[in-house]
Amino acid sequence: MSERAKIKTTIKQAVEYWSNLIDECDLSVDWAEADTHCWRCGCEKNLQRCHIIPHALGGEDSPENIVLLCGRCHAEGPNVRDTSIMWDWIKAYKVPFYETFWIIQGQKEYEFIYKKSVLQEIKDISAKANIEDKNVIIDKFKSLYDGAMKNASIHYGQPYFNTATIAGIYRMIFNQLCKEFNISLG
């Protein structure tokens, strides 16, 4: 192998390449911060240089085949021989603020499991408990949040709550809210 072939594409080179082709308005990350944030979810932990087309499918170590993803986004990403698929996927998950990405995914997971959105659940609980001031529910929700967090943990080796855990935290809070208001969930 030549010396040149051993040199891996840097994240900086990948940012330079892709920032000319992909509009940051379509992403969860600004190009100015793209060397330190996951390009899908915007987080800063466990970042990995990822091949868009996998090495096993002939993908090369060159800027046009590299994106920066965190470990969990890397594990969930598409592994196919078509670069546009990776970008379709990254863009589809765009959120406006870094901290909201996994909360939003957790809310989607909640709706998938319990067949009702988090927002609708809050509306229904408010209606059943005859609470008209939504701040009352929000304050209650916040006060129960810490307790629910203590009953959840991060899977070994993972730096964050996964989406099912976030959905579970919502469910435990809703269960507790219903108990306090003496109503049933669902």
Interface residues with Zn ion (CB under 5 A) are 38, 40-41, 70, 73
Q: Which is nearer to Zn ion, 39 or 170 (CB)?
A: 39
Using only the alpha carbons of the chain, give its radius of gyration.
21
- Measure the CA angle with vertex 40, ends 48 and 14; round to 5°: 55
Q: How far is the CB of 65 from Zn ion (least distance, A)?
A: 18
Q: For residues 148 and 85, what is the distance between their CA atoms, to the nearest angstrom?
A: 37
Q: How far is the CB of 56 from Zn ion (least distance, A)?
A: 22
Q: How far is the CB of 116 from Zn ion (least distance, A)?
A: 27
Give the residue from 111, 130, 142 showing the smallest Cα distance to 181.
130
Q: Which is nearer to Zn ion, 36 or 184 (CB)?
A: 36
Q: Which is nearer to Zn ion, 70 or 86 (CB)?
A: 70
Q: How far is the CB of 47 from Zn ion (least distance, A)?
A: 8
Q: How far is CA 77 from CA 7, 83, 121, 135, in A?
A: 25, 12, 30, 38
Q: Which is nearer to Zn ion, 89 or 141 (CB)?
A: 89
Q: How far is the CB of 42 from Zn ion (least distance, A)?
A: 7
Give the residue from 53, 50, 16, 52 showing the smallest Cα distance to 34.
16
